Structure 1
Amino acid sequence: MNKKTQFIHLGLKDYKEAWDFQENLFKETVDQKISNRKLPEADQIETKNYLIFCEHPHVYTLGKSGDENHLLANDAFLKEKKATFYKINRGGDITYHGPGQIVGYPILDLDHFFTDIHKYLRFLEEGVILTLKEYGIESGRVEGLTGVWLDGDDTAKARKICALGVKSSRWVTMHGFAFNVNTDLEYFNYIVPCGIQDKAVTSLQKELGHEIDIKEVEKKLKKNLAAVFEMELIQ
C-alpha cells in the first residue's frame, strides 16, 4: 500500500481552475487503476495520492443532490457580492467558499488506506477536530450530519465550523472539506448552508474573538490529517 501523499498548495485559486486541476489528477488516478487491472501485478504502476489546500474567491457550489432553491440570491446580487455559482459533481447540498477559509481536496486512492467512505469522512472530520483542540476549542459531530460542529448536542447552540462534500469512483476521492478560519460569515446568509435551516455557521475567528494566522492553522491541520490517515506527506 502506498501512503505517500503529495501536498500541493494552490493559494487563492479560482474555483473552476481548482476543480479542473482536481479532475485531471482524479481521472489520471482512476485511469491508472483501470489500466492496472489489465496488467500482471509485476507490471502495474502504483497510483499516487494528493492533498490539496487552497482558498477561493467568493463562490457558492451546489452538490448533485442539492436543491437550487437553497441559493437565496439572484444573479444580479451575486454579481454585486462578487460571487460565482457552480453546480458540481460532489455529494451534499449548497455551501460557500471564500477567502479566510481552508479548502482541502484530498485525492486519495483509498485502496492504499481503507475502502470505507463513511470512515473516510469521519477521518477528515477528525483532522479538523484535533486542530480545533489545539486552539482550546472542543468540537465534534452531529448524528446523521456530516461536518464538524460546536455544541452539536445542543440544537439551540449547534453551529458548523467545517463542511464536507466528496465524490468517489473506484475508491478514488475528490472534493473534500471547507474549514472556516477567518471566513466572512455574512456570505452564508444568502444560502441555506448544506440544506440545514435550523443550525448556524461559525469560524475559528468568531469563536476566539480575533483574526487567526491561517498559515499556522494549515500547518496544524496538515499534520493532524497526516497522523489520522497515517500518510507520508511529500512537499
Structure 2
Amino acid sequence: MNKTIDIQDLGQKDYKATWEYQEGLFQSIVDTKIKNRREEANLETSNYLLFVEHPHVYTLGKSGNFSHLLLNEEQLTQKGATFYKINRGGDITYHGPGQVVGYPILDLENFFTDIHKYLRLLEEMVILTLSDYGVKSERSPGETGVWLDVGTPFARKICAMGVRASRWVTMHGFAFNVNADLGYFDHIIPCGIRGKAVTTLNVELGVEKVDEAEVKAKLLKHFLNLFEAIPQHNNVTF
C-alpha cells in the first residue's frame, strides 16, 4: 500500500480548470486499478492532496436542488461569480477568496475502505485545526461538515464537505471558511439547509485576517497524522 501523498498548493485557480485537473488525476488512479485487476499488474496507485483558492463560484452537487441558488444568470455576472453543476455529493455551496479548499484524491485502498470513516477524518482534521486556534467545533448529526454551537439557535457552519468516490478513489473535498466574504452565502441556501448560519475563522477570532498559509500547514499536519500518510511536496501550475 502506498501511503505517500503528493501535496500540491495550486494558489488561486479557476474552478473549472481545477475540476478538470482533479478529474485527470482521479482517472489516472482508476486506470491503474483497472490495469492491476485485468492484468494482475500490481502497480502502485498514487495519492494527492490539492490546496486551492477559487474565484467566486457556486457549485451544486448531483443530488442538489437548483432552487437553492437564489441568483439568476445576470445577477451572477453582477456578483462576479460563476456556477457549475458537478459530480460530487451534497447540495449547493460557495467557494471564493479567503476560503481554503482541499481536494484529497486518494486511493482509499491504500488506507482503509470506509467512506464514512474518510469523511469523519476530514471533519476531525478541521476540528483539530480549529482547536489549535482555541475555537471549539463539532459535528452536527446527519449534516456533514464542521459546525459551531450545534444544538443552539446560534449553530453555524465553518467548513463544508462534498466528495465523490468510485472504485475507492476519492475526489472533491472540503471548503474551510478562513477569511471568506460571508455576503456571498446570502445568495444560496447553503448545503440546502435552511435557517442555519455560516461563519469564518477570522470572524470567530475577532480579527481582520487569519494567515491562510498557517491554516493550510495546520490542516496538513493533522491530515497526515490522521491518515498515517507520508508527504511529498510539489508546487505546480497548470
CA distance in 2, matches of 1:92, 1:38: 33
Q: Which residue of 2 aligns with 1:204?
A: 201
CA distance in 2, matches of 1:216, 1:128: 13
Q: Which residue of 2 aligns with 1:217?
A: 215
Q: Which residue of 2 aligns with 1:178?
A: 175
Q: Which residue of 2 aligns with 1:97?
A: 95
- The gaps in structure 2 that reach 5 residues or longer are 234-238
Deviations 1:169-193 (A, max 9, x none): 0000000000000000000000000
Identity of aligned residues (%): 63
Q: Which residue of 2 aligns with 1:39?
A: 39
Q: One-letter code of the match for 1:173?
A: T
Q: One-letter code of the match for 2:24?
A: N
Tell me the SS of whatever aligns to 1:106: strand
Q: One-letter code of the match for 2:193?
A: I
Q: Which residue of 2 aligns with 1:132?
A: 130
Q: Which residue of 1 aligns with 2:104?
A: 106
Q: Which residue of 1 aligns with 2:21?
A: 21
- The gaps in structure 1 that reach 5 residues or longer are none
Q: One-letter code of the match for 1:215?
A: A
TM-score by length of 1: 0.98
Q: Within 5 Å, which residues of 2 pair with 1:158-173?
A: 158-173=155-170
Q: Shift in Å at residue 153 of structure 1?
A: 2.6
Q: One-letter code of the match for 1:5?
A: I
CA distance in 2, matches of 1:69, 1:50: 34
Tell me the SS of whatever aligns to 2:126: helix
Q: Does 1:55 align with 2:53?
A: yes
CA distance in 1, matches of 2:82, 2:150: 30
TM-score by length of 2: 0.96
Q: Shift in Å at residue 208 of structure 1?
A: 0.6
Equivalent pairs, count: 232
CA distance in 1, matches of 2:135, 2:221: 18
